Structure 1
Amino acid sequence: MKIVFMGTPDFSVPALEELAKVHQVAAVVTQQDRPKGRGHKMQYTPVKEKALELNIPVYQPEKVKNPEFVDILREINPDVIVVIAFGQILSKEILDLPKYGCINVHASLLPKYRGAAPIQWAVIDGEEETGVTTMYMAEGLDTGDVIDTAVIKLDEKETGGSLFDKLAIEGGKLIVETLSKLENGTATRTPQDDEKSSYAGKITKELGQIDFTKPAVTIERLIRGLNPWPSAYTTLDGKAMKVWDATVEEGNVTEKPGEIVEIAKHYIKVATGENYLKINEIQLAGKKRMPMDAFLNGYTIKENILGL
């Protein structure tokens, strides 16, 4: 198959690698280079870096639906366009262009978790399983007919980062299987049930602020879901503090939410709206990430309430 691959972040890279092993990837389309870091040096997208490594031509249109770029796609004349976390909306003109259509790999079991951040929300919401879906792209947001799915069970300590890596690899495997079915005519299409859909909105830094009036289990999921970015946070002695790892301890809470009720060697125990949260790993503003025992070796906690 002749493929045009559209993708941008790290999540898209395993699929590009897998497709390049068995198909002709005629072109890669990715977002434009952006300045990054203190020096504002222009940085390639992860997909561009991998495409250059694989000697695949790269296109970076400001808007993929511009007529000039649509003409380029027509000249390439791909059998299929594969889209994974590209970051732009495709016009109907593009959707109708390839022989086999435009196929999207989405990091959830659609119709659940349509939208920008399905991986983090699966962890935050306490899902026991999630997965990846391949689907025919339609003009709506993640609304196309489903072709294939692959299910992943979430570990007890699953983070947004660890799940991201698992689903990226699984997505690479699944898109190869899907294209094989398209080519031999065995691919099925199952319309999504819109009534079962949910929306996974963008993750913001503000979402990470810990509200200790909520149950400990809810806070612990938030901590895992926002690891590594943007991370859950609170304040300790008036200083910003990221929380990287915590566990839930059941108990009848009589203290104020956010109150430190125990300082042990490896954790501090904090009251919440329901049960207790044992904080095991933190990062105070301007300091390195460290386990609680290392932190307490060099720091004396002054205030007994977090979040003040």
Structure 2
Amino acid sequence: MKYIFIGGGRGGFELISSAISKNIFPAYSVICKEDDHENIKYSDKIVNLFKQNGIGYTVKKKLSETDHAIIRKIRPDIIFVYGWRTMIETELNSYCRYGIIAAHYSLLPKYRGFAPMQWAIINGDRNIGVTFFRIEKGGVDSGSILIQKKLKLKKNEYANEVENKLIYVTVKTFLDLIRKKSLKQNSFISQDESKATYTCKRTPEDGKINWNSDSEKIYNLIRALAYPFTGAFCVHKGEKYVIRKAESGKMNKKSFTGRIAGRVIDIDEKGIEVLCGSGTIRLTEWQNSGTGNIEIPSVSVRSYSDTLL
């Protein structure tokens, strides 16, 4: 099928790289431009691929009327959206055979909205998935479902590991889809609105650890936001530290009748153990936001009087 690609990010780069390697070229592409503060610019990587293969493209944050005109002229079978960050006008459905198909990291109608992968990990879910759905008029991520793939979410997996699995499944599913000559309109199934749930946007500040929370909730937050994402963080002696690795504390099941959330209760060469609102958590690797140094927390924390904020 003839397709136009709209998107970017790591997932978009992996998808386009795989497609091009198999001679499955987009007719045109709108590449998502990253924010200035983002260190890795996948848009540059995608542009290089397109230049090498003579593929038409533009790089931006929002679609323009010029993009609409190009899409009207090309009349693709589908517009595939993956790693795009702004709204897409549903009128584009009328310019292609099967409509605008987007990939979303959840088992829709669950987790409509922002950062579904992170929210699923934060909430301690045991399943996650990828949904290919058509962008239609109505609420966010509410369009008819074309394909859905369910994956197991292990309780000790970090966000980068989960993302690796989701990208792999998304790319494979896309390639299988695009190799088809046609789709049946009854392939699309309406979502069950009674089962819909929603998520809000997350900011880097939302990663601050509340030590009064349960240790499992803190562990889930750390896993969900760990590198390469913005990270769960705490403050020690005025310095901000982003937690990169953690595990359940050795004293997690012990009963404390004297408890100060955030207080360090164990220090050794492998890390530090911290009291939470309930339970304990062991921090084994963190990064100083000021210096950028990655270290075992016990390098900086040397006293049982220390309390993380």
In the alignment, the residues of structure 1 paired with residue 6 and residue 121 of structure 2 have an alpha-carbon distance, to the nearest angstrom, of 27
| Amino acid paired to 1:220 | Y
Asked whether 1:290 is paired with 2:292, we answer: no
Q: CA deviation at 1:189?
A: 1.6
> How many residues are treated as equivalent by the alignment?
300
- Structure 1 residue matching 2:233: 3-state secondary structure: strand
In the alignment, the residues of structure 1 paired with residue 135 and residue 208 of structure 2 have an alpha-carbon distance, to the nearest angstrom, of 35
Which residue number corresponds to residue 127 of structure 1?
Answer: 125
In the alignment, the residues of structure 2 paired with residue 290 and residue 22 of structure 1 have an alpha-carbon distance, to the nearest angstrom, of 44
Which residue number corresponds to residue 256 of structure 2?
Answer: 253
In the alignment, the residues of structure 1 paired with residue 159 and residue 29 of structure 2 have an alpha-carbon distance, to the nearest angstrom, of 27
Q: Call closer, same or farther: CA 1:247–1:34 in 2, change over 3 Å.
A: closer
CA RMSD of aligned residues (A): 2.5
Which residue number corresponds to residue 28 of structure 1?
Answer: 29
In the alignment, the residues of structure 2 paired with residue 170 and residue 185 of structure 1 have an alpha-carbon distance, to the nearest angstrom, of 22
Q: Deviations over 1:137-158 (max 9, x none)?
A: 1133111111111122123321
Q: CA deviation at 1:236?
A: 1.5
Q: CA deviation at 1:198?
A: 2.0
Q: Call closer, same or farther: CA 1:121–1:46 in 2, change over 3 Å.
A: farther
Which residue number corresponds to residue 142 of structure 1?
Answer: 141
Q: Which moved more, 1:225-234 or 1:81-90?
A: 81-90
Q: Call closer, same or farther: CA 1:287–1:93 in 2, change over 3 Å.
A: closer
TM-score between both structures, scaled by the size of structure 1:
0.87
> Alignment partner for residue 79 of structure 1, among 77, 80, 85?
77
In the alignment, the residues of structure 2 paired with residue 46 and residue 191 of structure 1 have an alpha-carbon distance, to the nearest angstrom, of 36
Question: Percent sequence identity over matched residues?
Answer: 25
Q: CA deviation at 1:177?
A: 2.7
| Amino acid paired to 2:7 | G
Q: Call closer, same or farther: CA 1:94–1:235 in 2, change over 3 Å.
A: same
Unaligned residue ranges in structure 2 (runs of 5+) = none
Q: Call closer, same or farther: CA 1:154–1:54 in 2, change over 3 Å.
A: farther
Q: Deviations over 1:211-240 (max 9, x none)?
A: 111000000010110111211111112321
1:250 and 1:275 in contact (8 A); partners too: yes
Q: CA deviation at 1:287?
A: 4.5
Q: Deviations over 1:279-308 (max 9, x none)?
A: 111223414212346x26xx634842111x
In the alignment, the residues of structure 1 paired with residue 169 and residue 52 of structure 2 have an alpha-carbon distance, to the nearest angstrom, of 22
1:123 and 1:221 in contact (8 A); partners too: yes
The equivalences for 1:188-199 within 5 A come to 188-199=187-198
Q: Which moved more, 1:236-245 or 1:18-27?
A: 18-27
Q: Deviations over 1:41-71 (max 9, x none)?
A: x98444334433443211235642x433311
Q: Call closer, same or farther: CA 1:149–1:54 in 2, change over 3 Å.
A: farther
Which residue number corresponds to residue 167 of structure 1?
Answer: 166
In the alignment, the residues of structure 1 paired with residue 180 and residue 253 of structure 2 have an alpha-carbon distance, to the nearest angstrom, of 49
Q: Call closer, same or farther: CA 1:287–1:134 in 2, change over 3 Å.
A: closer
Which residue number corresponds to residue 235 of structure 1?
Answer: 235
1:34 and 1:43 in contact (8 A); partners too: no
Q: Call closer, same or farther: CA 1:8–1:197 in 2, change over 3 Å.
A: same
Unaligned residue ranges in structure 1 (runs of 5+) = none
Q: CA deviation at 1:204?
A: 1.1
Moved over 4 A (4+): 32-38
Q: Deviations over 1:171-223 (max 9, x none)?
A: 11112233455715386222111222222322211111111110000000101
